[in-house]
Amino acid sequence: VTGNAGLFSDYRFRGISQTNKKPAFQGGFDVAHSSGFYAGNWNSNIDSDFFAGSNLEMDFYTGYKGTAGGIGYDVGVLTYYYPGSSPKIDNTEIYLGVSLGAFTAKYFYAVTDFFGFDNSDGSSYLDLGYSHDLGNG
């Protein structure tokens, strides 16, 4: 079980300020089992004008991580919940991630209308990453 909390100058999601360029208080927790199963929650204040009246984002996720032949994998589901939003803008995605050494790729697929946009279920995106230690761990 782990937890986190922080105060940030701005909350950006995919390059767009979610707090109208104002500070954000964020925090969450994760529960992971040695079998590979995990679940968690993450929260942040947001700009209610931008989020249909909601001033809170609550993310809930669960999944399974493991390795096979040196390749890591991660499969799960992620729900973005905005209490009090009207119209409702909640969003649920399923994801599949793979990693090999310093490289990662994670594919997300929306199973609900994407953040309230009509007929947007089925939209997807790919998150690619590379990490490199710049020295001393």
pLDDT at 76 over 80: yes
- Judge contact between 19 and 10, C-beta under 8 A: yes
36-40-41 Cα angle (round to 5): 165
Check pLDDT > 90 for residue 115.
no
Average pLDDT over residues 84-109: 95
Task: Provide the mean pLDDT of the chain.
Answer: 94
